[in-house]
């Protein structure tokens, strides 16, 4: 009897709540006069967007209520906050919580833990982000190199034993349970370079059990590029897991002009059932430690002149190796090998060998930029329907992508080069990225989604960071909201820090 009375009472309450004509609505923020591009790829719409708390609650032609705060967009484009599919901006983030590099280019969420390298353990990292919030949302992959390093220590220049592999699986499981997006690998770097494909398949199978993904800086981006693409396809097929070729590129003169061959190969893999995708950064230069070039010398022997000659003829030109900071000789900062060879009155190969030796002696800490990609290839790969945008950038790195990747994509590749339409380009920076890395309730302007938003001027938006001055913020980004709070207003940083750690979609209940 009591039960029945309670049930009647609750029905009455439900009806009252649902029908009350003048129930006070919570105060919201309504963005009016915006050209809304919602991330779906569909055409822009002139609609209002209402935000309450950290969520989008209404999208359409409605009248704001009296207690709403209005934001006049003045006809600018309102898009979902950009999602960076490959970021290193989590490094140093707790010390630089404003994340200027990130928010000033309209990015609201980063997928970190890339190239096999993660902040470990994820549980602790996410707890820190909850106690001391930063300006942006942070998701992370588990890093193969990190886990391999923890298990094998300094003795990593070999295949793992089955016990060691089982231990890696255990560590990986814990990271997946903490909400990792999946597994990242950096197979051109130590210690990941010493792993077998089989090791990666075993780990990827564990990730698949949790509904995660595999994202890879593949085993070779130059000499053995095609074999490396085969390997990532094999891992996708054998582990039955979505795979992503990260910062995809044709980074060797010999492969220039072969973008169509690459795309056909990827399309064939997709047609055969492997969910393979890609992300790209919009620049012709890569960035790594200078001494990474040593791995391209036979036996890593820096006395092998043929190694230096090979690098300078087949992969990079003397003008295409730029040393932004050179520890052993700071007067070379900002110069190319061609320029330094000229100063030393030497030839480029000798110069390269001598500088590499000097840097190795000082601990190998000098960064380099390698101009190895060709613009027509970049544009063809960018236009492939499965390619999203990733910055591969950091908060204070030497590559301009840390500050300018997304605005360069908008300004140069979309507005000036028309590689894709603005609507499609935004999809590649938002909903498609979210889908490819496994994030839900973000990446789209729709009711119920988190209010991560960017307001920008499509006519003027552009990057300003350069190889000479990589830390210049972009122009044309007017406002950025993260979880309903402004982090950029009038192009300026507000200091708000309402970012959240983001756990993998299939981890959420
Ligand atoms: Zn990488």
Burial class (CB in 10 A: 0-12, 13-18, 19+), 129: buried
Strand order from edge to edge, sheet including 137-140: 82-84, 107-112, 137-140
Q: 42-56: string of b/e by CB count within 10 Å (b at 16+)?
A: eebeebbbbbbebbb
Report in angstroms the alpha-carbon separations of 333 from 40, 340, 345, 346, 354: 44, 10, 18, 18, 16
Q: How far is the CA of 186 from the centre of ligand 1 (A)?
A: 6
Average pLDDT over residues 40-45: 98
> Of 405, 414, 427, which Cα lies nearest the Cα of 458?
414
Residue 402 to residue 393: CA distance in whole angstroms: 4
Residues 422, 37 contacting (CB under 8 angstroms): yes
How far, in Å, is the centroid of ligand 1 from the Cα of 87? 10
What is the pairing mode between strands 29-32 and 69-72? parallel
Q: Ligand 1 centroid vs 475 CA: distance in angstroms?
A: 27
Q: How many whole angstroms from 88 Cα to the centroid of ligand 1?
A: 10
Backbone phi, psi, residue 471, to 5°: -110, 25
Centre of ligand 1 to C-alpha 45, Å, is 37
Is residue 389 within 8 A of residue 281, CB to CB? The reply is: yes
Six token digits for residue 285: 């230069």
Neighbours of 260 (CB within 10 A): 11
In whole angstroms, how far apart are CA 115 and each of 89, 108, 160, 252?
Answer: 13, 21, 19, 20
Task: Identify the pLDDT of residue 22.
Answer: 58
pLDDT for 110? 98
Residue 214: per-residue pLDDT: 98
392 CA from centroid of ligand 1 (Å) = 7
Calculate how far, in angstroms, residue 253's C-alpha sits from the geometric centre of ligand 1.
19
Ligand 1 centre to CA of 433 (Å) is 17
How far is the centre of ligand 1, averaged over its atoms, from the C-alpha of 229 (Å)? 14
- In the reported structure, the alpha carbon of residue 217 is separated from the centroid of ligand 1 by a whole-number distance in angstroms of 5
Q: How far is the CA of 165 from the centre of ligand 1 (A)?
A: 23
pLDDT band at 505 (very low <50, low <70, confident <90, very high): confident
Tens-place pLDDT, residues 218-231:
999 999 999 999 99
Q: How far is the CA of 402 from the centre of ligand 1 (A)?
A: 13
Least trusted range by pLDDT, from 19-28, 47-56, 485-494: 19-28
User: Rounded to the nearest whole angstrom, what is the distance from the C-alpha of residue 187 to the centroid of ligand 1?
Assistant: 9
Ligand 1 center–CA 247 separation, angstroms: 7
Ligand 1 centre distance from Cα of residue 251 (Å): 13
CA dihedral (363, 366, 371, 373) positive or negative: positive
Residue 429 CA, ligand 1 centroid: distance in Å: 19
pLDDT at residue 428, rounded to an integer:
98
Which runs of E-coded beta strand occur in 200-341? 213-217, 243-245, 276-280, 285-289, 321-323, 335-336
Q: What is the CA(494)–ligand 1 centre distance, in A?
A: 31
Strand ranges (E), 242-397: 243-245, 276-280, 285-289, 321-323, 335-336, 367-371, 387-389
CA distance 407 to 281: 11
- The alpha carbon torsion through 200, 206, 212, 218 (nearest 10 deg) reads 0
pLDDT in the model for residue 23: 61
Ligand 1 centre and the CA of 159: distance in Å? 22
pLDDT of residue 20 exceeding 80, the answer is: no
Q: For residue range 234-284, list pLDDT tens digits in order.
A: 999 999 999 999 999 999 999 999 999 999 999 999 999 999 999 999 999
In whole numbers, what is the pLDDT of the chain averaged over residues?
A: 95
């Amino acid at each position: 009897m009591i039960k029945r009375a309670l049930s009647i009472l609750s029905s009455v309450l439900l009806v009252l709540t649902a029908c009350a004509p003048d129930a006070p609505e919570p105060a919201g923020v309504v963005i009016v006069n915006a050209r809304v591009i919602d991330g779906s790829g569909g055409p822009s719409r002139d609609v209002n967007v209402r935000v309450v708390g950290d969520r989008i609650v209404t999208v359409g032609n409605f009248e704001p209520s009296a207690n709403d705060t209005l934001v006049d967009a003045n006809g600018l484009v309102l898009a979902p906050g950009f999602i960076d599919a490959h970021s290193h901006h989590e490094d140093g983030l707790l010390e630089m919580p404003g994340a200027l590099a990130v928010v000033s280019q309209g990015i609201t969420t980063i997928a970190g833990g890339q190239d096999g390298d993660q902040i470990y353990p994820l549980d602790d990292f996410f707890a820190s982000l909850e106690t001391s919030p930063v300006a942006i949302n942070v998701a992370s992959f588990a890093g193969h190199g990190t886990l391999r390093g923890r298990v094998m220590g300094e003795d990593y220049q070999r295949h793992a034993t089955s016990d060691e592999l089982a231990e890696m699986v255990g560590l990986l499981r814990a990271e997946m349970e903490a909400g990792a997006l999946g597994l990242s690998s950096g197979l051109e770097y130590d210690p990941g370079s010493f792993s077998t494909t089989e090791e990666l398949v075993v780990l990827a199978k564990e990730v698949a059990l949790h509904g995660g993904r595999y994202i890879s800086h593949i085993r070779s981006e130059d000499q053995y590029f095609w074999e490396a693409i085969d390997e990532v396809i094999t891992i996708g097929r054998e582990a039955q897991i979505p795979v992503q070729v990260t910062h995809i590129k044709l980074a060797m003169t010999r492969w220039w002009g072969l973008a169509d061959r690459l795309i056909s190969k990827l399309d064939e893999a997709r047609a055969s059932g492997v969910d393979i995708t890609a992300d790209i950064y919009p620049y012709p230069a890569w960035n790594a430690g200078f001494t990474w070039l040593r791995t391209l010398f036979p036996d890593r022997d820096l006395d092998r002149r043929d190694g230096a000659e090979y690098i300078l003829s087949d992969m990079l030109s003397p003008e295409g190796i730029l040393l932004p900071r050179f520890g052993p000789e700071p007067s070379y900062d900002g110069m190319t090998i061609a320029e330094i060879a000229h100063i030393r009155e030497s030839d480029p190969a000798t110069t390269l060998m001598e500088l590499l030796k000097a840097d190795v002696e000082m601990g190998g800490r000098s960064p380099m930029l390698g101009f190895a990609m060709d613009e027509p290839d970049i544009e063809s790969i960018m236009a492939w329907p499965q390619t999203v945008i990733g910055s591969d950038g950091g908060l204070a790195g030497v590559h301009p992508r840390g500050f300018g990747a997304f605005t360069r994509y908008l300004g140069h590749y979309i507005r000036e080069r028309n590689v894709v339409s603005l609507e499609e380009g935004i999809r590649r920076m938002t909903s498609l990225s979210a889908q490819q890395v496994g994030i839900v309730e973000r990446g789209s302007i729709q009711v119920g989604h988190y209010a991560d938003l960017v307001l920008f001027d499509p006519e003027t938006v552009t990057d300003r960071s350069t190889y000479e001055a990589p830390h210049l913020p972009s122009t044309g980004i007017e406002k950025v909201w993260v979880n309903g709070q402004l982090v950029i207003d009038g192009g300026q940083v507000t200091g708000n820090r309402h970012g959240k750690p983001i756990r993998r979609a299939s981890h959420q209940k």
